[in-house]
DNA sequence: CTAAAACCTGACGCTGACGTCAGAGGCAAG
DNA sequence: CTTGCCTCTGACGTCAGCGTCAGGTTTTAG
């Protein structure tokens, strides 16, 4: 890909982004409002996104699913975009990691209790 | 333990239950309101609980942590209390189990992405 | 007996990631 | 041209598990 091609990369509108990422149009606007996603604007004011916006939104969804807030994600986005962190960010990364790991353990425990009941009630129809 | 002792089991008030289970008094009242927890009443109207109420609440917390709603828990409580289930309950048990398992997988994926960044940024201080 | 601590019943508030509705403009096709 | 779909900006609604405040009764400690 040449520099010229990169400069003329095809931009897509919000509907295509939303469908591509499997979220609602409302959600995409919300991400922008939270400072997660920046969009260019067409002369008439419509949002225009680059292709990688879809991957970014998928990443947001993954972090949301892991229990991170929009605020936390904005604070940690530079770690992904620049590959560099300061001490505060490293502390946040560790804290989130530990919280998620604890959550996994909780879920596993709950899973075991459900499986016990399933096993018992399946043998006693 | 004799039958007479069982009949005169020491009942505890809501504050002791809450402290024992590590939740707020408000939370315990909420569980009753949702139909999760029944309490006797003293002549003056105060709630009186048996000791096992604490274990029940710990169980509720575990299910909440696993993403079950109060409604779902009430629907599945008979499975624990009676050890018996009908077809609908078995379907719910399986659905919840699968949902939790999927959630675990999501969290593991997020965990891996965080660990990648932690590993990279720790080697690039 | 009295003061503090604990309990009661409403009932409104909070949080976060959106859903949803209103009213208005933009854009390719027939 | 106009039909129909897409997009825009507010702004209020939702849900669930409580937090919190108000105003009053009850139990306990000294």
Decide if B14 contacts B25 (C-beta within 8 A): yes
Contact B79, B93 (CB under 8 A): yes
Whether any strand D atom is under 7 angstroms from the Cβ of B51: the reply reads no
CB-CB under 8 Å, B62 with A106 = yes
pLDDT band at B125 (very low <50, low <70, confident <90, very high): low
Provide the residue ranges of all domains of chain A, joining segments of one domain with +. 1-82, 85-125
Residue positions counted in chain A:
125
The rounded Cα A14 to chain-centroid distance in angstroms is 17
Q: How many CB atoms lie within 10 A of CB B9?
A: 11
* Cβ-nearest to A111 among B80, B84, B97: B97
Residue to substitute from A61, A68, A95, A110, interface B, most B β-carbons within 10 A? A110
Q: Supply the pLDDT for residue A121.
A: 82
- Position of tokens 């959600």? A27
CATH number for the domain formed by residue range(s) A1-82: 1.10.1660.10
Nearest CA in chain A to B109: A62
Give residue for tokens 């399946």.
Answer: A122
Q: What is the pLDDT of residues B8-56, one digit of tens each?
A: 689 999 999 999 999 999 999 999 999 999 999 999 999 999 999 999 9
The DSSP output letter for A60 is H
Architecture of domain B1-84: Orthogonal Bundle (1.10)
> Percentage of chain A surpassing pLDDT 70?
93
């Amino acid at each position: 890909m040449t520099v010229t091609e990169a400069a003329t990369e095809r931009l897509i509108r919000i509907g295509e982004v939303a469908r591509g990422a499997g979220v609602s149009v409302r959600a995409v606007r919300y991400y922008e409002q939270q400072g997660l996603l920046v969009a260019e604007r067409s002369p008439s004011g419509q949002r225009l996104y680059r292709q990688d916006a879809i991957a970014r939104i998928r990443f947001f969804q993954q972090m949301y699913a892991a229990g991170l807030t929009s605020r936390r994600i904005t604070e940690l986005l530079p770690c992904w975009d620049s590959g560099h962190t300061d001490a505060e960010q490293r502390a946040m990364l560790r804290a989130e990691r530990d919280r998620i790991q604890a959550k996994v353990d909780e879920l596993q425990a709950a899973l075991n209790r459900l499986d016990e009941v399933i096993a018992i009630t399946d043998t006693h129809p």
